[in-house]
Amino acid sequence: MKPFTYARAADTPEAVREASGPSHDFIAGGTNLLDLMKLEVMAPDKLVDINRLDLKQISETEDGGLRIGALVTNSDCAADDRIRRDYPVLSRAILAGASGQLRNKATTGGNLCQRTRCYYFYDTAMPCNKREPGSGCQAIGGATRLHAIFGASDQCIATYPGDMAVAMSALDASVEIEGKDGASRTVPVRDFHRLPGDRPDKDNVLEDGELITAVTLPAPTGGRQSYRKVRDRASYAFALVSVAADIGMEDGKISHAALAFGGVAHKPWHKPELDALLTGKEPSDALFAEAADLLLAEAQGQGGNNFKILLLRRTLRAVLREATQMGETA
Amino acid sequence: MQQTNLTINGQEHALDADPRTTLLDALRNHIGLTGSKKGCDHGQCGACTVIVNGRRINSCLTLACMHDGDEITTVEGLGQPGNLSPLQSAFVAHDGYQCGYCTPGQICSATAMLQEAKDGWPSNVSDDLAKGQKLTDEEISERMSGNICRCAAYPNIVDAIREVAEGAEA
Amino acid sequence: MTRHLVMDEPATKRVLDELPQSLTGKPMDRPDGPEKVTGTATYAHEWNLPGTVHGVLVRATVPKGKVTAIDKDAVMKLPGVLGVFNDERFLRNPAQGTANEAPIQGPDEIAYLGQPIALVVAETFEQARHGAHRLQMRYDVAADGVFDPEATNVPHERPEDDQLDQGDLDAAMKQAVSVVDQVYRTPGHNSAAMEPHCSIASWEGDKLTLRGSYQMLNYNINELADSLKIDAEDIRMLSPFVGGGFGSKLGISAEAVAAAIASRELGKPVVVALSRQQVFETVMRRSESRQHIRLAADADGKLIGLGHDSLVSNLPGEDFYEPVMQATHFIYTGENRRMNMEVARVNRICAGSVRAPGEAIGMVALENAMDELADISGIDPVELRKRNIPEMHPETGQGYSSRPFAEALDEGARRFGWDKRNAKPAQTRDGEWWIGMGMASAARVNMLKEAKARVTLNADGTATVETDMSDPGTGTYAILTQIAADMLGLPGDKVETVLGDSDLPKGSGSGGSFGASSSGSAVFLACQDIRTQLAQKMGMDEDDLKLDGGKAGDMALADALAGDAIVGNGHIEPGETSKDKRQATYGSYFAEVGVNAVTGETRVRRLTAVFGAGRILNEKTATSQCYGGCIWGIGMALHEELLFDTRDGHLVNHDLAEYHVPVNLDVPQIDVHLLEERDDWASPIQAKGIGELGLCGAAAAVTNAIYNATGVRVREYPVTLDKLLDQLPE
């Protein structure tokens, strides 16, 4: 771990001010940042500790949604009565991730910034365009079990590894961001993470010194929500693929459909055309097959992860059957 | 160097250390409390689990300087030879370990986990998110999956925790 | 005095069964338990010697070549850095188990990516770790590295003493009514003991004290001395607590030598702990294997031919190879046999002992093949195995010592409810899950090793057991205490067992499952020595000496001792009995799995295992060992795999996030049953080894159950969902 200056901020303006520098990072839970700093995959000159900021509440918004402070821990978020009741997909996604200990430290804002688990990104002996732009991508042609089937580039095939953001994508949540001089902006979760393109070093749209202050959830749709995570171990393992769903039914037809997918792309994968295809239709295996075809039309395996294409097809079908109460699959 | 005041097992400690020092390394290398173990240093095994302000965390993935004013409980604070906590006794009786290296982390984790369950926190294997959960074996296993035991004393660990959980209920 | 026994004759007098006390075998709590649960047990890193400075090893980042330059100066300028060391005595490879001499040294010749090259020492761990990251090295990279054991450009060797061609297997395959002819592959495994390897070196003049985490101090001290080019008499090693070993701490590894060299130079205690990634990259891996199994059976399912050829790998210059066919040689009948071993020389991490080397993977492939044979021949898998239990060793003609193999198969089947299994695959559903049952046999060679121990019957009537033996979680503290307590008629809490100090009599070390029976026998003999002396002192015939409940006859022991302690020494050596009989341990596994019909995820729902390992010395710790073995089997079956990049041989998943050892939720409650058994040929205490048996075939029970659940036969471990997905039944 490279030496750094440590500063503790008392409020958001101070935090943003303290962090205005190219190699300055905020630290909240630290569960991913310190992991990477120990390996010198990340090596900031300055850490701004934001744990004393007043961003730990979950409050109701005027339009019937919830505003989750950036420092609300994963544990508190998953256990919140309102979230358990109205946004179970979010509780479920969080509880499917990491361990009890990590969820007690990991925060809402920090978790959105979780970096990839690509083996080559984590190993400083290996070239990696995400870690060291221009050095090359050793994952391509290597061990690709964890890697993307959607939206990869010839520079990076990494995946976003988290669960929480996948649920937030399905819920169409928004990220509140505060920047220099009190400037603030709101970015839909669906647009928060980037595809790697030719800048795989940039995971998301945050600019230097910008701080996530909250995530807001729109009013619940009343749909049936679920999160299904597929992984090698029964627990404490990253998703091979995951599906977050919020599906409403009315008069035997799908009245609302929002689906997001984890473990398959550099960001929680959301395809608006897929939601549109399902909406207004009567659930059937034929419809679900059509949906899977649409979703997977642009899927591209890397060798070691080719199985994700079939796995996602099967998992999507099972989730849709369950959400529309067509009964068990397979 | 960074000044940090920590309350550890009820005792105050003034730590003066490199800001890079993790809470785990502060405990082990600076304060002389080696009960908390380093198994992976990356939050992948749980051997370093301690309880901070009532919550279990991986002490390897947090900086000591971030804990100024915090209350920290390590395995040494839960009980001592001759004065074991109920979980510590149950781990001995049920052979909830073999090599013993993951054990302090297991016990700290289980101690806080029982409180989480009491507070009604759901888990990934809970059928119903809303209701309080009965601590079935499956619930115990899922909630303890952040503590790896390579000797694989898992069946005995579950026995030990179940016994204490049931004792607390009765 | 020393009571010395060479095991040339079976020990038909079962002394431990004739004593008035019988603590041995009972599920006594570990005496070291209270220390372990309170964090007061002292593992390698935890001595807190004043003035200790920290060292971090630096690895090679290329797979083959030479180090041409190390930029020490830049790192020496960093705050706190005290030294950058790169010494020709540094270990290139870790020492193999029982090496007893230095392993391959010379860090500048690079044989694999991850090889330790240098050590950065600084005042604090944080400074040393950063210095290690910053150390720049230049290499002359060799272009002729080879990384894929099955590639055609890789040199293969055939170890002479592991080639068998008996009868005519090809003819038997033609003549047989049922045949199996299949190739199975197992990946590399890592021991992944929870305590990373660590050594603290400190010198007083020419005397080195090394506090480490090692399984076999009796050998380690010589490995360290030879590596450092000093006398073993000038070294003291301490390992009272070892946070798991599983083979990875049989021999010394790079950190011990590096710490000793740096400490000498700096004149301060130096602690060097491997990071978890370094544990994966620099200590032993279990070799991957390609196993070709041929079974030829007659109409009754009786084997007339058995072939088992294996390809494993190691670095050039390493003698060790995974003895894959070790149990295949003796477990089943069949007069026509062929077993050939090949070793590929690759630039991958050193291969060596990982829990149950040989049987851990060899029994698994064999038991998969037996399951296939059962399926083809229509004979129940349990029955098929029973029909193939040989009367005599099918190759050497030796007899067997105690062998409750059939009993283990029957008892396992009964406890598990095997009769409820539907032999036809893919018939049973529970909601979204396909349910299946599978079984496998367990077998592991038994070994006795030379061991010494000293027992002192103290004047106050307590006793102290001393040996350099280790307890890496196996229960040594408990079982030696129990044996001494019974032999001396003391309650368990009046016996103190002191281990892990190389100044104490040399035990067997912990490895190969031989620790308990070997060191236990040494303690047993030392106690016999005490009994003889005590009887003499009391002026009575030894046969009339009755020690029970802290008394000698009617007299309190302290009174009988009249102020004097009695020191007894025990010394056991293996002898003719290990040649006269094929000694082994046996068992059975029965597993029920669920395979998710949507995703192919497999979860083990139930596991029953029955084992016979001679006299059980402590039912509780022995059962725990068996749980551990079975759970390793679950990991091996479902997700453990060292993933190598075949372009440069580097280990891709070198941490516990991506190398998936089982977690609590992967494991169901397990029913382990230990058979009542005495093996007079094995040791004077009629005990055999049990630490590895739990693993020797376990994975096959799980994968055979996957076949029963789904009808899909996967012959490439681990059976991750991607290997099932496109073949799952609709």
Q: For residue A19, what is the domain's CATH number? A: 3.30.43.10
Q: Which of A79, A98, A104 sits opposite B122 (nearest CB)?
A: A79
CA C243 – CA B99 distance, rounded (Å):
5
**Segment A170-219, tens digit of pLDDT:** 999 999 999 988 899 999 999 999 999 999 999 999 999 999 999 999 99
Domain that holds residue A120: 54-330
pLDDT confidence of residue B170: 60
Chains with 3+ CB–CB pairs under 8 A to A are B, C
Q: Which CATH class is domain B2-78?
A: alpha beta
Domain ranges of chain B: 2-78, 86-169
| Cβ pair A330, C432 in contact under 8 A | yes
Q: Which of A142, A233, A240 sits opposite C666 (nearest CB)?
A: A233
Assess whether pLDDT exceeds 90 at residue B132: no
Tokens of C567: 């020191």
Q: Least CA distance to B67: which residue of chain A?
A: A51
C614 DSSP β-pair partners = C687
**Segment C564-582, tens digit of pLDDT:** 999 999 999 999 999 999 9
- Percentage, residues of chain B above pLDDT 70: 99
Q: What are phi and psi of C139, to 5 degrees?
A: -125, 155
Which residues from A are below 8 Å from B when comparing CB atoms? 1, 3-6, 8, 27, 29-31, 34-35, 38, 47, 49, 51, 75, 78-79, 81, 84-85, 88, 91-92, 95-96, 98-102, 104-105, 234-236
| Cβ pair C609, C667 in contact under 8 A | no
DSSP reduced 3-state for C331: helix
Any chain A CB within 8 A of the CB of C605?
no
Tell me what the mean pLDDT of segment C540-562 comes to: 96
Is the ipTM value over 0.95, yes or no?
yes
Q: Cβ A100–B129 below 8 Å, yes or no?
A: no
Task: Write the burial class of residue C126 (CB in 10 Å: 0-12 exposed, 13-18 middle, 19+ buried).
Answer: buried
Q: Which of B22, B124, B141 sits opposite A95 (nearest CB)?
A: B124
CA A43 – CA A40 distance, rounded (Å):
5
Question: Which member of C101, C372, C692, C730 is catalytic?
Answer: C692
Q: Cβ B124–A235 below 8 Å, yes or no?
A: yes
Tell me what the mean pLDDT of segment A236-251 comes to: 97
C184 DSSP β-pair partners = C291
Assess whether pLDDT exceeds 60 at residue B168: yes
pLDDT confidence of residue A20: 87
Q: Cβ C647–A38 below 8 Å, yes or no?
A: no
Any chain C CB within 8 A of the CB of B86?
no
Domains within chain C, CATH numbers bracketed: 3-41+450-574 (3.30.365.10), 53-144+191-285 (3.30.365.10), 358-366+385-447+580-727 (3.30.365.10)
Sign of CA dihedral C120, C121, C125, C130: negative
B161–chain A nearest CA distance, Å: 16
Assess whether pLDDT exceeds 90 at residue A325: no
Looking at the structure, tell me whether residues A62 and A31 fall in a common domain: no
Residue B7: which pLDDT band, with cuts at 50, 70 and 90? very high
Q: Least CA distance to C729: which residue of chain A?
A: A330
Assess whether pLDDT exceeds 70 at residue A330: no
pTM of the predicted protein model:
0.98
C186 DSSP β-pair partners = C289
Q: Cβ C46–B34 below 8 Å, yes or no?
A: yes
Q: Quote helix, strand, coil % in chain B, to nearest 5.
A: 40, 15, 45
Assess whether pLDDT exceeds 80 at residue C689: yes
A268–chain C nearest CA distance, Å: 20
Q: Cβ A236–C663 below 8 Å, yes or no?
A: yes
pLDDT confidence of residue A329: 52
**Segment C457-493, tens digit of pLDDT:** 999 999 999 999 999 999 999 999 999 999 999 999 9
Q: Least CA distance to A321: which residue of chain C?
A: C598
Q: Least CA distance to B156: which residue of chain C?
A: C624
Tokens of C555: 């007299």
Chain C residues with CB inside 8 Å of B20's CB? 126, 130
Q: Cβ C658–A117 below 8 Å, yes or no?
A: yes
Q: Cβ C645–A230 below 8 Å, yes or no?
A: no
| Cβ pair C603, C594 in contact under 8 A | yes
Q: Is C407 a catalytic residue?
A: no
A contact test, residue of C135, C148, C598, C723 with most A CBs within 10 A? C598
Task: Write the burial class of residue C111 (CB in 10 Å: 0-12 exposed, 13-18 middle, 19+ buried).
Answer: buried
Q: Least CA distance to C670: which residue of chain B?
A: B155
- Percentage, residues of chain C above pLDDT 70: 100
Q: Which of A31, A38, A101 sits opposite B56 (nearest CB)?
A: A101
Looking at the structure, tell me whether residues A63 and A41 fall in a common domain: no
pLDDT confidence of residue A57: 98
A5–chain B nearest CA distance, Å: 8
| Cβ pair B64, B6 in contact under 8 A | yes
Looking at the structure, tell me whether residues A165 and A19 fall in a common domain: no
Any chain C CB within 8 A of the CB of B20?
yes
How many domains is chain A built from? 2
Tell me what the mean pLDDT of segment C150-157 comes to: 94
Looking at the structure, tell me whether residues A154 and A258 fall in a common domain: yes
Tell me what the mean pLDDT of segment B57-85 comes to: 98
Q: Where are the beta strands (DSSP E) in C223-327?
A: 235-238, 270-273, 285-286, 289-297, 303-314
Chains with 3+ CB–CB pairs under 8 A to B are A, C
Any chain B CB within 8 A of the CB of C625?
yes
List the Cα angle C95/C100/C106 in 5-degree steps: 45
Looking at the structure, tell me whether residues A295 and A184 fall in a common domain: yes
Chain B residues with CB inside 8 Å of C474's CB? 98
Any chain A CB within 8 A of the CB of C652?
yes
B contact test, residue of A76, A101, A163, A228 with most B CBs within 10 A? A101
Chain B residues with CB inside 8 Å of C662's CB? 152, 154
Looking at the structure, tell me whether residues A169 and A149 fall in a common domain: yes
Looking at the structure, tell me whether residues A282 and A144 fall in a common domain: yes
Residue B131: which pLDDT band, with cuts at 50, 70 and 90? confident
A157–chain B nearest CA distance, Å: 24
Task: Write the burial class of residue C77 (CB in 10 Å: 0-12 exposed, 13-18 middle, 19+ buried).
Answer: exposed
Looking at the structure, tell me whether residues A45 and A66 fall in a common domain: no
- Percentage, residues of chain C above pLDDT 90: 99
Q: What's the N-to-C CA distance of chain C in angstroms? A: 73
Residue C730: which pLDDT band, with cuts at 50, 70 and 90? confident
Looking at the structure, tell me whether residues A33 and A92 fall in a common domain: no
Q: Cβ B95–C664 below 8 Å, yes or no?
A: no
Residues 84-143 of C with CB under 8 A from B: 124-127, 130
**Segment C603-655, tens digit of pLDDT:** 999 999 999 999 999 999 999 999 999 999 999 999 999 999 999 999 999 99
Q: Cβ B34–C275 below 8 Å, yes or no?
A: no
Q: Least CA distance to B86: which residue of chain C?
A: C37
Contacts of residue C143, defined as CB under 8 A and 6 or more positions apart, other chains included, come to none
Chain A residues with CB inside 8 Å of C656's CB? none
pLDDT confidence of residue C1: 79
Residue A3: which pLDDT band, with cuts at 50, 70 and 90? very high
Q: Least CA distance to A2: which residue of chain C?
A: C130
Tell me what the mean pLDDT of segment B46-60 comes to: 98
pLDDT confidence of residue A51: 98
Chain A residues with CB inside 8 Å of B131's CB? none
Q: Least CA distance to B159: which residue of chain C?
A: C669
A197–chain C nearest CA distance, Å: 24
Looking at the structure, tell me whether residues A24 and A80 fall in a common domain: no
pLDDT confidence of residue A326: 77
Q: Where are the beta strands (DSSP E) in C187-246?
A: 189-190, 198-204, 207-212, 235-238
Any chain A CB within 8 A of the CB of C657?
yes
Counting one residue from A and one from B, how many pairs have CB atoms under 8 Å apart?
104
Mean pLDDT of chain C: 98
Looking at the structure, tell me whether residues A166 and A219 fall in a common domain: yes
Q: Cβ A311–C722 below 8 Å, yes or no?
A: yes
Any chain B CB within 8 A of the CB of C663?
yes
Omega before C718 within 30 of 0, i.e. cis? yes
Q: Cβ B148–C663 below 8 Å, yes or no?
A: yes
**Segment C81-111, tens digit of pLDDT:** 999 999 999 999 999 999 999 999 999 999 9
Contacts of residue A232, defined as CB under 8 A and 6 or more positions apart, other chains included, come to A240, C638, C639, C660, C720, C721
Q: Which CATH number describes the domain made up of B86-169? A: 1.10.150.120
Q: Which of C29, C245, C656 sits opposite B45 (nearest CB)?
A: C656
Chains with 3+ CB–CB pairs under 8 A to C are A, B
Any chain A CB within 8 A of the CB of C59?
yes
pLDDT confidence of residue C54: 98
Chain C residues with CB inside 8 Å of B39's CB? 194-196, 276, 656
